[in-house]
Amino acid sequence: MCGILAVLGCPEDSQAKRVRVLELSRRLKHRGPDWSGIHQYGGCYLAHQRLAIVDPASGDQPLFNEDKTIVVTVNGEIYNHEKLRSSLPNHKFHTGSDCDVIAHLYEEYGEDFVDMLDGMFSFVLLDTRDNSFLVARDAIGITSLYVGWGLDGSIWISSELKGLNDDCEHFEVFPPGHLYSSKSGGMRRWYNPPWFSEAIPSAPYDPLVLRRAFENAVIKRLMTDVPFGVLLSGGLDSSLVASITARYLSGTKAAKQWGAQLHSFCVGLEGSPDLKAAKEVADYLGTVHHEFHFTVQDGIDAIEDVIYHIETYDVTTIRASTPMFLMSRKIKSTGVKMVISGEGSDEIFGGYLYFHKAPNKEEFHRETCHKIKALHQYDCLRANKATSAWGLEARVPFLDKEFVNVAMNIDPEWKMIKSDEGRIEKWILRRAFDDEEHPYLPKHILYRQKEQFSDGVGYSWIDGLKAHAEKHVTNKMMANAPHIFPHNTPSTKEAYYYRMIFERFFPQNSARLTVPGGASVACSTATAVAWDASWSTNLDPSGRAAIGVHNSAYEKQQQHLANGNLNSKIAAGTPLPLMNGLTSAREIAIGR
Dihedral of CA 338/340/342/348: which sign? positive
Q: Which helix (H) or strand (E) holds 216?
A: helix 207-220
pLDDT (tens digit, 0 to 9) for every residue of the chain, 592 residues total?
799 999 999 998 889 999 999 999 999 999 999 999 999 999 999 999 999 999 998 889 999 999 999 999 999 999 999 999 999 999 999 899 999 999 999 999 999 999 999 999 999 999 999 999 999 999 999 999 999 999 999 999 999 999 999 999 999 999 999 999 999 888 999 999 999 999 999 999 999 999 999 999 999 999 999 999 999 999 999 999 999 999 988 766 666 666 678 999 999 999 999 999 999 999 999 999 999 999 999 999 999 999 999 999 999 999 999 999 999 999 999 999 999 999 999 999 999 989 999 999 999 999 999 999 999 999 999 999 999 999 999 999 999 999 999 999 999 999 999 988 889 999 999 999 999 999 999 999 999 877 654 678 888 999 999 999 999 999 999 999 999 999 999 999 999 999 999 999 999 999 999 999 844 444 466 787 788 887 666 656 555 555 555 455 445 555 655 555 544 433 333 333 323 332 222 222 222 2
Nearest to 122 by CA among 165, 159, 148, 85: 159
DSSP state for residue 58 in the 8-state scheme: T
pTM score of the predicted model: 0.91
Nearest to 444 by CA among 239, 196, 272, 218: 239
Rounded distance between C-alpha atoms, residue 191 and residue 140, angstroms: 9
Rounded distance between C-alpha atoms, residue 572 and residue 575, angstroms: 9
Rounded distance between C-alpha atoms, residue 206 and residue 84, angstroms: 30
**Three-state DSSP class for residue 533:** helix
Rounded distance between C-alpha atoms, residue 197 and residue 396, angstroms: 23
Count Cβ atoms within 10 A of the Cβ of residue 381 and give its class: 0-12 exposed, 13-18 middle, 19 or more buried: buried
Look at phi and psi of residue 68 and say left if phi exceeds 0, alpha if psi is from -120 to 50, else beta.
left
Dihedral of CA 499/502/503/504: which sign? positive
Q: What is the pLDDT of residue 586?
A: 25
What distance separates the 2 farthest-apart alpha carbons in the chain?
78
Rounded distance between C-alpha atoms, residue 54 and residue 548, angstroms: 47
DSSP strand pairing (338-340 vs 35-41): unpaired
Contact 424, 446 (CB under 8 A): no
Alpha-helical regions (H) of 263-400: 273-285, 296-310, 315-333, 345-349, 361-374, 379-388
Rounded distance between C-alpha atoms, residue 187 and residue 175, angstroms: 9
Rounded distance between C-alpha atoms, residue 277 and residue 266, angstroms: 10
- CA-to-CA separations, 226 to 53, 87, 223, 259, 392, in angstroms, rounded: 6, 27, 9, 12, 11
Rounded distance between C-alpha atoms, residue 340 and residue 393, angstroms: 8
Give 136's Cβ-side CA count (13 Å radius).
Answer: 27
DSSP string, 419-460: GGGTB-TTHHHHHHT--SSS-SS-HHHHTPPPP-GGGGG-TH
Q: What is the pLDDT of residue 173?
A: 98
DSSP state for residue 417 in the 8-state scheme: -
Domains and CATH numbers, the chain: 3-192 (3.60.20.10), 197-590 (3.40.50.620)
In the chain, what are the helix, strand and coil shares in percent, each to the nearest 5?
A: 45, 15, 35
Rounded distance between C-alpha atoms, residue 113 and residue 418, angstroms: 43
Q: Is 266 a catalytic residue?
A: no
Rounded distance between C-alpha atoms, residue 419 and residue 423, angstroms: 5
Nearest to 342 by CA among 214, 445, 159: 214
Q: What is the pLDDT of residue 250?
A: 73
Residue among 2, 44, 168, 523 flagged as catalytic: 2
Write phi, then psi, for 130 (nearest 5 degrees).
-130, 10
